[in-house]
Amino acid sequence: MSSAGRFAPSPSGELHVGNLRTAILAWLFARSTGRRFLLRVEDLDRARAGAEAEQLRDLLAIGITWDGDVVRQTARGTLYDEAISRLTGAGLTYECFCTRREIQDAPSAPHAPQGAYPGTCRNFDPAELEFKRSTRPAATRLRADVAEYTVRDLLHGSYTGLVDDFVLRRNDGVTAYNLAVVVDDAEQGIDQVVRGDDLLPSTPRQALLATLLNIPVPEYVHVPLVVNADGVRLAKRDGAVTLRDLAEAGLPADAVRDTLLESLGLPAGPLERAMAAFDPVALPREPWVWTGVDSARR
Ligand code: GLU
């Protein structure tokens, strides 16, 4: 299978200019390196009816095209189950019965970093396990044998982050994002992951998981986010930030695309033209500040 990049939105609502800018970058990175570009809808959680269609429409409106069919995570449960079974077969998972509250209130394990799962359910003996199973459904956690893991990122260099016994499947049966993303990227032949740098802290977990599953770790490229005037990651409440809002404010999709390209130091116009000028080394490394429609090219 030839190599590929991807964009993997969660269909929780309309995309905003920050998501669109990341999508453009993912497209540029993939296409400029001769990769296929795939679209995966991450609908395991947070899906809102109608959002997927709006997101695809908006991606097309700014010139983003993808190869093959759109893939939806909700149709891929068997792949996730198989991966979890493989890990379980290798002794790398355990059942966890903790509520969020119990985890918050538990004393943290000695030397464990802040926020790490304290390991409450890690070493139950068979009798304890049997009793716990009678109380409530279990989540499945990874039995991680390291507390941190290092990844390489094209823009960030070497990055070391926390790894704990993170959840692979929630106790309501929903596959966790960290497991699904790793399984999907591998199964789809994705060897280049371009996404917002808010996900950099999750990357050591994902790379460890890939390694434990004996699948290749992709090249990571975590790109700067779009932020509001206060320096906070852009969100819907920041005003007119979706293509629909901006069209109502007099800014058509082409103008939004051009604004986003210029914020990246790239020529306005069709994405193919930007691709000819695209140089990862020259990309801005700072977040881009969106100050409303005034940020945009008119
Ligand atoms: N679905 C995630 C999001 O929309 C992105 C996941 C990824 O790119 O790995 O935030």
| CATH architecture assignment, domain 4-75+224-297 | 3-Layer(aba) Sandwich (3.40)
**Chain-centre distance of CA 256, in angstroms?**
23
State which amino acid sits at residue 213.
L
Give residue 108 CA to ligand 1 midpoint distance, Å: 29
Domain extent listing, the chain: 4-75+224-297, 78-178
Instruction: Give me the residues paired with residue 140 across strands.
Output: 95, 169
For ligand 1, atom 7, the nearest C-alpha belongs to 8
CATH code for the part of the protein at 78-178 = 3.90.800.10
Find tokens 């490229």 and name the residue. 221
Ligand 1 neighbourhood includes 42 CB (under 6 angstroms): yes
The pTM of the full predicted model, rounded to 2 decimals, is 0.96
Atom of ligand 1 minimally distant from the CA of 19: 4
* Residue 11 CB less than 6 A away from ligand 1: no
pLDDT for the residue numbered 298 = 60
Q: Is 5 in the pocket of ligand 1 (CB under 6 A)?
A: no
Q: Which atom of ligand 1 is nearest to the CA of 185?
A: 9
Calpha distance 241→177 (Å, rounded)? 26
Structure tokens at 80: 């996730």
Per residue of the chain (298 residues), what is the pLDDT tens digit? 689 999 999 999 999 999 999 999 999 999 999 999 999 999 999 899 999 999 999 999 999 999 999 999 999 999 999 999 999 999 999 999 999 899 988 887 666 677 789 999 999 999 999 999 999 999 999 999 999 999 999 999 999 999 999 999 999 999 999 999 999 999 999 999 999 999 999 999 999 999 999 999 999 999 999 999 999 999 989 999 999 999 999 999 999 999 999 999 999 999 999 999 999 999 999 999 998 888 876 6
How far away, in angstroms, is 181 Cα from ligand 1 center? 8
Which tokens go with 10? Answer: 């969660």
CA of 193 to the centre of ligand 1 (A): 10
Q: Where are the alpha helices (DSSP H) in the chain?
A: 17-32, 51-61, 77-89, 100-105, 126-133, 177-187, 203-212, 243-248, 253-263, 271-277
Task: Give the pLDDT confidence score for residue 105 in this predicted structure.
Answer: 86
pLDDT for 296 equals: 78
Predicted pLDDT of residue 274: 98
